Amino acid sequence: MTSDQPIDPPADATSHRDGETSFGEETLESSHHAEAPIPDSFFSKTSDAPPASDPDDDPVPDRIGDYDVIGTLGKGGMGIVYLARQKAANRTVALKVIRPEHLAGMTAEQRERALTRFRTEAQAAARLDHENMVTLYDVGESNGQQFLSMRYVQGRSLAEILRFGPIDNRPAATYIRQVCRALDEAHRQGILHRDLKPQNILIDAKTDRALVTDFGLAKLTEQEDGLTRDGDVMGTPQYMSPEQARDSAGVTVRSDVYAIGATLYHMLTARPVFQAATVWETLRQVMDRQPVSPRQLNPAIDLDLDTICLKCLEKDPTGRYKSAGDVADELDRYLSGVPILARPISTLGRLRRWSRRNRLIAASAATALGCLVFAFIAVSVSLVQTRSAFERSELSFKQALDAVNDFFTTVSEETLLDQPGLKPLRHDLMRQALQYYDRFLVQRANDPTIADLMGVTHYRVGLITAEIESHEAALDHFDRAIEIQRRGLEDRPQSQVGLRELANSYNARGDSLYHLGRWESSLNSFRQSKRLRQQLVELQSDSIEYRRLLANADMNLGIVFKRCGNLPAAFDALGAATELREQLSQEHPDHPSVLRDVAKGYYALGGVYAQQGMMDSARTYYDRAIDSFSQLVQMPGAIDDHYLLSGSHFARAGLLEEPAGAIEGFRRAMREMAPVAAINPNVDKYQMMLINCGFEIAFRYEQLGQIDDAASTLRSASRTAIALARRDDRSAQEVARILLELARLESSGQGETAMWIHYQRLATDALEELPQSPTLTQLVQEIDSRVESLSN
């Protein structure tokens, strides 16, 4: 049940039984409710390597002052950031300069304001010195170009990381706490950031430390020289506080606190708090709408973290934390397991807010609420009666424990129960098993004759707790299991059963520590697991199972090493895992589990190479994954292998720059998935694979100028999304996303009003097919309002 190959945050932490690896660090399953494959590139490519300059852009200068320019790192609203080498200091830097085209069309007054703002950024950044800020080296001018020289950080921005899905609770809290400490230091020096967002937070690949960058909108709060004029709107709408959306001149420290909450929200849910089709509609939502609780979008979010996030996002600045330092202190309490000071908004409080916005509906809801309370009491009484009846039945201890073990094994290993729609049932069944295990632990706690059973039971309770409660709570059970199992091995050091059980417990402990962001501790546990599994292989070298488990241990180590930024160690461990798996495959070419391990390992290596910008190697390993999965789909019981094969085609196609070749690759992915999806319509991840392939194909068609083909592909994707939304309204967001792209394509060149009218027609048609969808109902209302505004 626990994964032998942990899934790197922010990917989905879907559980797998020990001995089976997950699909890899770049898992095909995201944290989206439908467990959809997240395209590696929809509108842009991402890699850890510095991006090459776009040949269609303005030429990159060879030199700026004392700096030899290597290439373009990125562009912002006012600045271009180059990768450069400073000759005098002999170091690689990020060099930010004013964009020439930004100044060219300005009046003299506008030009002076832009340059003044740029110098303000330099003054602000030069005064800041903190371990969680990007260091400013130099400020200067060359041939009329203003520039800033900053430390070049090897790593990725949070925005890039979040394209793969949300970040787990503890890593997200750890990163945002570091951001808070940096902002608190800036605030103490009178400097506001004013544009905090995932794009402006870098994660250092070497230290795994969050670094705040781009104080490009910083305001020196002690100055009164009017650098920010009343009425200006500066910042990024999705992360902007309501008061900043109304007037940038009125921002305070608590405006940055709001941005902290908006960034944390995005980290936990993989989506902004508010995001509409236009900037002004987004700003209207920021000012007028209450945010949806992050836990409603991602139930895996801890309640305390949800509470902290929503307190930062209060519309009224006085309802937020007073400072970034206060947020950091609150996150310290959360990470330390100490009760936080903030309290969740009560049910009554939420009801009052909702009632103010929905006065007519609130009146009729009061009667329904009374019926709901009555039904809840009836169900509760029935549950108590059922439990009492069960307690009266007695089985022998051994029979009872065997029965629960069989039940646990069946539930944890049943693939169908791991589908999104059945996960609530899976968790309910797990809770039933947990109740019996807990009772056994209490009743037999002092029985020395069953120590082995106690160890295994703690291990299994830990697995269940990690899945349905938290990894933090699971650690205590894994530690107890390890303590008991280590004592047992003192008398029987060569016991294969004892070695395997202890290795499994260390592996499970490493997995939970990994998801909690404790990388070094996770590595230590995985090292122990590998050591024990190595002993098992030495005791029985012909065991397929023991060798598979040893390879999985190396894969785990490789993924954690990569997460820590130790790439040489990561490649060594991943290479060792792949080598052992390939040996097993040669010896047992018809063994499905062995071949599946090999294929998943190839896929994982392809993803690692792709992220490092080593595209030839990435293609090689994706091709190997495709060959291996192609063999697996010929074997009986290989339904999910079709999905994995489709995902491998999808990943490889995403590496192709040439649109026609990419289209063919995504079509291969669709051809592989379509028959399986047709006979398994209730498996959401299969349907999402088809939808995402359609999106990618439509985008490539648009690149080729084949607008009709792009639109036809999107219409097909919308039909699949509508079918999904009939089962789960959250998929209506996919419908909205597709229809917006379709409206944009089919009304290209006709103006904004025409686009909105077409979007209105498409969304209204979709609502007729999904009349009970709250998401589409709200969408149509907002589109109607927008069209009316444009018409007036």
Please give the positions annotated as active site.
195
Residue 14 or residue 112, greater confidence = 112
Closest alpha carbon to 662 in 704, 631, 691: 704
Residue 382 or residue 644, greater confidence = 644
CA distances from 2 to 153, 464, 466, 480, 615 (A): 34, 9, 9, 17, 32
Work out the pLDDT band at 10, boundaries 50, 70, 90.
very low
CA distances from 53 to 73, 81, 100, 163, 321 (A): 8, 11, 17, 22, 42
Task: Measure the CA–CA gap between 680 and 132, rounded to whole angstroms.
Answer: 48
pLDDT exceeds cutoff 80 at 618: yes
- Please report which residue ranges of 614-658 form alpha helices under DSSP H: 615-632, 639-653
* Residue in the structure block whose two tokens are 């040439």: 658
Residue 291 or residue 19, greater confidence = 291
Work out the pLDDT band at 72, boundaries 50, 70, 90.
confident
Q: What is the model's pLDDT at position 704?
A: 93
Locate 402 and state its tokens: 């065997």
Residues 697-720 have a mean pLDDT of: 92
Residues 425-448 have a mean pLDDT of: 59
Q: Are 167 and 175 a contacting pair, CB within 8 Å?
A: yes
Write out pLDDT tens, residues 507-552: 999 999 998 989 899 999 999 999 999 999 999 988 888 999 999 9
Strand partners, 262: none
Residues 694-705 have a mean pLDDT of: 92
Q: What is the model's pLDDT at position 232?
A: 41
What is the residue-averaged pLDDT of the chain?
76
Q: What is the model's pLDDT at position 215?
A: 67
Task: Measure the CA–CA gap between 331 and 313, rounded to whole angstroms.
Answer: 15
Work out the pLDDT band at 461, boundaries 50, 70, 90.
confident
Q: What is the model's pLDDT at position 157?
A: 87
Locate 73 and state its tokens: 């790192």
Residues 413-437 have a mean pLDDT of: 53
- Please report which residue ranges of 1-107 form alpha helices under DSSP H: 100-104
Write out pLDDT tens, residues 39-59: 222 222 223 333 333 434 456
Angle formed at CA 172 by CA 415 and CA 683, multiple of 5 degrees: 20
Among 145-149, 190-194, 449-453, 594-598, which is the least confidently predicted range? 449-453
Among 324-328, 353-357, 379-383, which is the least confidently predicted range? 379-383
**Report for 177-181, 639-643, 733-737: range of highest mean pLDDT:** 177-181
pLDDT exceeds cutoff 70 at 673: yes
Task: Measure the CA–CA gap between 102 and 381, rounded to whole angstroms.
Answer: 69
96 is in an annotated binding site: yes
Among 180-189, 353-362, 737-746, which is the least confidently predicted range? 353-362
pLDDT-above-70 percentage for the chain: 71
pLDDT-above-90 percentage for the chain: 29
**Report for 383-392, 419-428, 583-592, 618-627: range of highest mean pLDDT:** 618-627
Helix (H) or strand (E) holding 20: none
Work out the pLDDT band at 247, boundaries 50, 70, 90.
low
Write out pLDDT tens, residues 181-195: 999 998 988 888 888
Residue 304 or residue 221, greater confidence = 304
Closest alpha carbon to 785 in 234, 361, 278, 373: 278
